[in-house]
Amino acid sequence: MSTLIDATTFRELVSGQRRGFEAAAIRGLLNLLEFPYFSATQLRNFLYNSGVFPTHQFPIPIISVGNLTLGGTGKSPLVAWLGRFFLEQGIRPGIISRGYGQSANGVNDEFLELAFRLPSVPHRINRNRIAAAQDFLDSGNVDLLILDDAFQHRRIARNLDIVLLDALEPFGYEHIFPRGTLRESVTALQRADVVFLSRADLIEETQRRIIHDRVWKLAPDILWGEIVHEPQSLAAVSETKTEIEISAIRGKQVLAFCGIGNPNAFRQTLESCGAEVVELIPFPDHHQFNTEDIDHLEKTARRKNVDLILCTMKDFVKIKPLVSGTVPIQAVLINIRFLSGEETFRKLLNAFTTDMPF
């Protein structure tokens, strides 16, 4: 169902924001479609939990970073943070992704973004993540593996499971896809070792406490932390200067576009930096941009008479080869900052790596 409508409309429907008979009828249909998906995920998890479906063990440490819901929760900045952390410890990490939304050349937006952020860290895309892990192991070039977007990937045993919850929709509107945005039941958080509430600055502290308390009732032994995705600078497509101060967008009228799971989060990020978002153009998650898209964006920017066109880093790494140099497109480079949990998390990672035979 969600493939027939854009991401914004889908969220308006499943959240109940969109009213009326037609919206209610669609939600009724989605309720019927939710049950078989829920049953399949529950059965699959039962088979893994009971050992009927085996998990593959590897002799090097493996960390998973994943979501409970569909769409983006800001995993790439956290994967980048982890990559830099291990490099600083003299540990050679490798990254494995399944590769949703691959282009014809076999890469996707997460791959391109992480290559931009971590040029020295090898990254392999393979639907068969066991084969990718074995390939890394055979190469002898890594000491540790990070599985990107792998919370629901149960075939590889991991030493540490990190889950990000988006503060704007932490529990997927209380329904599993397609009725909501949950990938599986919230009880799956019992498998997690670490839960980070991402974009925590976008909601009030009382709301953060409610989310925290609910997670702890499910998994009282998890490490809890809260992080924000903080804009650090701008990367310019059409200028030789590679980075621009983020303060440059304050007070500017901007046209924004993005191909991510939660477009509204990008709007809120820009507005938090003082930009006036004249229009946000959402593209499907993992959208493969073409020259017609760029032309449309440029024409819209002229018609709206905006100062800038802004996108996410995931979009930037895909559109850069398409831009001739005349389109004023800039990308917001975002890193994570901990509101809470950083010290405990660092201690956990240090203990985790100290005990491993690198």
- Measured distance CA(35)–CA(23) in Å, rounded: 19
pLDDT at 238 over 80: no
Strands 308-312 and 253-258: parallel
Say if residue 263 is preceded by a cis peptide, omega within 30 of 0: no
pLDDT at residue number 112: 79
pLDDT winner (highest mean) among 36-40, 116-120, 258-262: 36-40
What is the average per-residue pLDDT within 345-352?
Answer: 90
Q: Do domains 62-229+337-354 and 231-334 have the same CATH topology?
A: yes
Determine the 3-state secondary structure of 56 from DSSP.
Answer: strand
Q: Where are the domains of the chain?
A: 2-49, 62-229+337-354, 231-334
> Is the distance from CB of 149 to CB of 68 less than 8 angstroms?
no
CATH number of 231-334: 3.40.50
What is the average per-residue pLDDT within 259-269?
Answer: 83
- Measured distance CA(233)–CA(200) in Å, rounded: 20
2 — pLDDT class (breaks 50, 70, 90) = very low
Q: Which CATH number fits domain 62-229+337-354: 3.30.420.40, 2.60.120.10, 3.40.630.40, 3.40.50.300?
A: 3.40.50.300
- Per-residue pLDDT of 149-199, as tens digits, reads 999 999 999 999 999 999 988 999 999 999 999 999 999 999 999 999 999
Overall size of the chain counted in residues = 358
> Is the distance from CB of 237 to CB of 208 less than 8 angstroms?
no
Q: In 190-199, which positions are buried (b, 16+ CB within 10 angstroms) versus exposed (e)? A: ebbbbbbbbb
pLDDT at residue number 3: 46
pLDDT at 216 over 70: yes
More confident residue, 48 or 261: 48
